[in-house]
Structure 1
Amino acid sequence: MPLPFIAIAVPVIHSSGGWIASTSAAGYIAGTHTATWIGSFILGNSSLLSSLGLISGAGIFAAGAGTGLLAGAASSTGVLLTQVGLGGVASYFGIAPVVTFLGLTPIGWIVAGTGATVAGSLGYFMTGRKMKEINEARVEGGLPPITVRELLAEIKGFDNDAKIEVLAKLQQEGFDIHISWDRRFATIEGTTYPIRRLLYRVKKDGSEDLALKTRIGRNKKVLLVKLADLGGDISAAPT
């Protein structure tokens, strides 16, 4: 059975510094210019990575916005994450439009977790030829070559750190959330979950939640973070 055609975006060094994702067919992909190689890779391949369950809405936000933005989000917007969600924070910082997210945006934001799960793993799509292209670009940018296994570890590590930042923010806002000392588990309202299997979802109706990806590939909501949007304007967030 032939593999489906997936145009894997390859991060390359940008003339102004940093990395930007590119494909042979489309060239540079708008909105994927970041300071880190992994951030650019995630933004350039966000649809595929989300469908494989390898990246969450939190991870994509972190890739597009950079780290540490949530720490100042409340003071900058004057409202809580539970009021505006990651979508509202992204809109405030100008990295996403103030609308309900219905698909890909110029920065590669997606409705995480709503699409069908693609069978297999990233390694299914990363052919030897594609990995050679990726590693040639990495070496040109001063980075060592990477294997598929190492790439998976980088993606999961980046996403895990992003979700921990979101969980810590929600804990500060009063949710019953506790993160284990080794940063591997989160206890939410008395039930413990592996953080690597948690998703932060931005749904079509504007609501946002934490969900658990079960072992059979389904997503089970474990915590409602934000109610459905009434209008989408950050200034109209409920108090």
Structure 2
Amino acid sequence: MTRYPSDVPGTDTSTVELFDNGAPKGVFTTANGHWSTTPIDVAPGFHSFTAQGRYGSEPISPARTFRVAAVVTPTLTDIRDSRRSIVGGTTVDTAVIVEGTGSLGQLIQLMDGAEAIGNPFRVPTDQTKWSTTLAGLNVKAYNLKARALYGNGVPDSTAKGFIVAPALDFGRLIPWLRRITSLRAIEFRTSRYLRATPAIRASRRVEYRPTDIRRQVPRSSWWTSIRAMCVPLAMGVRRYRSAT
């Protein structure tokens, strides 16, 4: 329940009765032309307050209206790039769409760990679902949660993470590979996005092995670690051939 005090003018010596949506909320006596209530319980929903004088012709004040929103603990339901959900995954996009829920018409701040990210935004007044865009992301790991800028002691949402990785430029990769090996063909078998370490071995094939970390391979195994990168490819096999 939310409580609101009221302080409005009346006559020097009079009594006023207060109504909320037509229901009486008490009779109050003016002091020096003003009257004030004690805190009044108001439930979530629409409210229309009026005051009626208990003197003379018993005039009624204009209504004062407001809506009390139910306190909803914010949630973070999804994070999407330009193609699909990336929760727990990797993207090369530098802008993502974040979706969740919260209290009607209230402000929410996205957090990346302990730091605010982006500007506060308002939940729509007609539904608890919200959606906002985060742009200008850097190449790094993110751990997002939604924080309520309303109510008292409202907990943050559960965090959801993703990684922004650099896109692989094949136009620059192939000449670079040509300088370090007499490679005849490069074969990739990959998902749409693959966080991988490319490696070269004596059989002259480059294979992308899924991993989320940089990995060094012993020289005796005939594998050479290059660097971790994200490969944006369609499903299936891709073959690239050097000019040598």
- Which protein has the larger Cα radius of gyration, Structure 1 or Structure 2? 2
Fold-level similarity (TM above 0.5) = no
Q: Which has the higher contact order (CA 8 A, sep 6+)?
A: 1
What's the TM-score bracket when you normalise by the shorter of the two chains?
Answer: under 0.3
Higher helix share: 1
Higher strand share: 2
TM-score (normalizing by structure 2)? 0.20
TM-score (normalizing by structure 1)? 0.21
